[in-house]
Amino acid sequence: MLYNLHTHNYTANASVLEVVNRYPYEEIDVPYFSTGIHPWYIDESKVERHLAIIGQRLQMDNCLALGECGLDKRINMPLDLQQEVFEKQLLLAKKYNKPVILHLVAAFQELIAITDIIKPDVPMVVHGFSKNIQVVEQLLNKGFYLSFGKYLLRNPELSSVFAQVPEDRFFLETDTIEEGIEKVYEKAAEARNIDIENLKNIVTNNFKTVFKNG
């Protein structure tokens, strides 16, 4: 079994467990999903309604995580609004004891400040990781997990960063790329200089630890 931490494209591949992103206004039409308010798509007039839907869905057994949600400093959405919506979602994750899949762009310090205050006490995974080893160490020291996919395939320099992440702290994903999760596993195994079976065991163990599923 392969595990895809975060995807928007359900493939119905029986050999892959996919955590499919489903926004609050989307139907649940997949075996396993995560749900949250993405900072790009905050609609102030609908936030409370969407939060109520998220609260209901987090109680479903096949809802494996809250997310993707987070902070993005490179968009026009006001950061204070992003932070307010993010904080409310973290409180829901804490209430229903669900892991969180994070979208983070240029806002790592804000993330750490918010989580230090709210203390969600649930596993939190920064998806689509693409930064340097210094950011890796900062996040690992705060207890975060990291998920790699698109940038591992696109940026050769990221392989050496990924190779230094402890084996109990990473996941693999496809997000919106056309390549399948198999390609990501191949690249990840190559970067860490291990065989695919070993990598599969590592990711499987991480998934079972964080998501209590599979």
Find the CATH number of the domain harbouring 138. Answer: 3.20.20.140
Query: 53-81, pLDDT tens digit by residue?
Result: 999 999 999 999 999 999 999 999 999 99
- Helix, strand and coil percent figures for the chain, each rounded to 5: 45, 20, 35
Q: Are the beta carbons of 19 and 5 closer than 8 angstroms? A: yes
Query: 79-111, pLDDT tens digit by residue?
Result: 999 999 999 999 999 999 999 999 999 999 999
Beta bridge partners of 25: none
Residue range of the domain that includes 153: 2-211
**Structural domain total, the chain:** 1
DSSP 150: H
